[in-house]
Amino acid sequence: MRLLLIEEDAGQCAHIRQRLEAWRPQAELVVHDPVTRGALEPEFLAQGFDAVLLADAWRGGRGLAWARELAARPGFAPLVLLSRGTDAALARDAAAIGAWSVSADDLERETFPQVLAAVERRQGHARAVWRTSLAGREAQRFGDAFIRGYRCIRRLSARAMTDLYVAESERAGSLVALKVARDAQEEQALVDPFRRFLQEYEIAQRISSPDVVRIYDLGVSDEHAWLVMEYLRRGDLRRHMRLGVAPREALRLGVAIARALATIHAAGVLHRDLKPGNVLLRDDGGIALIDFGLSKDAALAMDVTDTGTIFGTPHYMSPEQGHAEPIDARSDLYSLGVILFEMFAGEKPYRAENPMAIVYKHRKEAIPRLPERFAVVQPVLERLLAKQPADRYESAAAAAAALQGTLTGWLEHGAQP
């Protein structure tokens, strides 16, 4: 049994967990604090839970109001309202929307496990019907791939080799991002999609850090490789940059990316495709790096690109990477410099009509200058965008410290946010 509890009171959460464990020791209780985490995502149906338990009230919210909205979502999990006292009116209102109600007294009696057993039976039947229905099968289709246990909500983006979807995972009990290789598996493919996804999975499993997106699952369905990762609703830095980034926020993000690079470099991983689209934004202001399919992982002794072959995004490539030369962690710092310049200037440092011309400019053209009002950032940018790796910061940690120092100085001198 798996239950989602919407409750602010930590003491009440602990009590419900204790009662649940006494009845069903292997049951799982996931707590959602409605005050700190807000409403459930509008597409979420709690399909990975046997029921959703809602407190009758919390600061600024009412369980019944939430229950009415959730019950109106077709296919939502069974609802159980928890009242702190005997409330006949609440019980009637709950029954009117097809929900159960449990009072504080019921919680101590056999009524509680009886209600939970009833909702478990209902949800089990509903899942079985849905999975075998035509609508259920179509909902589990992502392009040409049928992926059991995931409900497709919408496509987020389409890239050259992959499509990215928002889905609901029964196993994770949450919304997830699901990446599907557009082309079917081919044994002699230059870059095997499953091999790339496997590398992403292995790296994310080894580096347990908020700086790296969590990855839950991977597989192959209908000859299409797929990968499941956590869904961050704020999206990526690319989308954020389209709206414009304030100078202080640009420096803060620069520090966060540099620290994330320090985390992966310490684990023996070079990203090799750092760009705004591969930097996700967390709700708490942090960032998470994604897309390690082109990374070089020393621990795995795995490199999915052939020697002498150029992979990556030309606008963000270091001069040495663009010319298929040996690279180290300082190549990722160059990519960070490009992102930093773009956040301040609103454009990429080098532009040309074709990718090879851009690669040429990264090596031969002078480092661009920021507008004069951002002169305090120019010294850091010069180090990050140095043509020779030896002239850049010696590590991502050193780059993070320099960026943090620049941010501190910016704030101390009263610059605009």
Q: Which residues are catalytic?
A: 273
* Cα–Cα distance measured from residue 210 to residue 256, given in angstroms and rounded to the nearest whole number: 11
Whether the Cβ atoms of residue 217 and residue 228 lie closer than 8 Å to each other: yes
Residues 6+ apart with CB under 8 A from 295: 199, 200, 203, 264, 269, 270, 271, 272, 273
Mapped onto helix, strand or coil, the DSSP state of residue 414 is: coil
Whether the Cβ atoms of residue 16 and residue 24 lie closer than 8 Å to each other: no
Please give the sequence-ordered ranges of beta strands (E in DSSP) within 130-251, or none if there are none: 141-142, 145-146, 150-158, 162-169, 174-181, 215-221, 224-230
DSSP H helical ranges for 267-323: 319-322
* Cα–Cα distance measured from residue 156 to residue 280, given in angstroms and rounded to the nearest whole number: 13
Give the DSSP letter of residue 161.
Answer: S
207, 211, 215, 220: CA torsion to nearest 10: -90
* Cα–Cα distance measured from residue 364 to residue 390, given in angstroms and rounded to the nearest whole number: 17
DSSP H helical ranges for 290-367: 319-322, 329-345, 355-364
Whether the Cβ atoms of residue 304 and residue 275 lie closer than 8 Å to each other: no
